[in-house]
């Protein structure tokens, strides 16, 4: 049985507000060759004021594998986006998480984690293409904890 979150669309309009979003994605895998594809997890963060801080604090990805009982915990994945310009549009389009599980030697491949940051003022395009996270589990009770993976993106004119 495969539980899959297909599309999560989050639109936030902020004016001088600190928003903390805690998202728990719990993916339960019961098949040994299961493919979980969270296609187009769209995070649209629209900022209406200058010097606004959006802090997606503790974006926890807990992946519970029922076959090998492995727990992969990406604890406190902090995305701090500091914008210094008004009416800036941050669009993280098509955040694709492709999880290919084979057996106790499971290969988790987060292929093409695309972060496209479009700034309305300077028309700058920051594209972090193919951010590849390969986590190879060799033990049945393996715990891979990516603790405090801090992505701090400071955008300035």
* 79-107 pLDDT, tens digit each: 333 333 333 333 333 332 333 333 333 33
pTM of the model: 0.14
The per-residue pLDDT for 94 is 31
Q: Which helix (H) or strand (E) holds 154?
A: strand 150-155
Q: So what's the pLDDT on residue 76?
A: 31
Triad 114, 105, 26: Cα angle to 5°: 50
Do the beta carbons of residue 129 and residue 152 sit within 8 Å? no
Q: pLDDT tens, 22-62?
A: 222 223 333 333 333 332 222 333 333 333 333 332 332 33
Q: How does DSSP assign 61-120, residue by residue?
A: EEEEETTT--EEEEEEEEEEEEE-STT-EEEEEEEEEEEE--SSSEEEEE--B-EEEE-T
For the chain, what percent of residues have pLDDT higher than 90?
0
Euclidean distance between CA atoms 12 and 34, whole angstroms: 33
pLDDT at 125: 32
> Any idea how long the chain is?
157
pLDDT of residue 43: 31
Residue linked to tokens 């959006």: 54
């Amino acid at each position: 049985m495969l539980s899959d979150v297909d599309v999560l669309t989050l639109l936030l309009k902020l004016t001088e507000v600190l928003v903390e979003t805690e998202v728990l994605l719990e993916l339960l895998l019961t098949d040994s060759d299961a493919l979980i594809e969270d296609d187009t997890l769209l995070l649209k963060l629209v900022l209406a004021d200058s010097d606004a801080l959006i802090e997606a604090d503790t974006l926890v990805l807990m992946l519970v594998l029922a076959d090998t009982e492995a727990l992969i915990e990406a604890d406190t994945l902090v995305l701090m986006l500091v914008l210094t310009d008004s009416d800036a549009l941050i669009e993280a389009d098509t955040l694709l998480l492709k999880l290919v599980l084979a057996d106790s030697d499971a290969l988790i491949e987060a292929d093409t984690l695309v972060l496209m940051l479009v700034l309305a003022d300077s028309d700058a395009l920051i594209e972090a293409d193919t951010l590849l996270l390969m986590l190879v589990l060799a033990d049945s009770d393996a715990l891979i904890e990516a603790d405090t993976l801090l992505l701090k993106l400071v955008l300035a004119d």
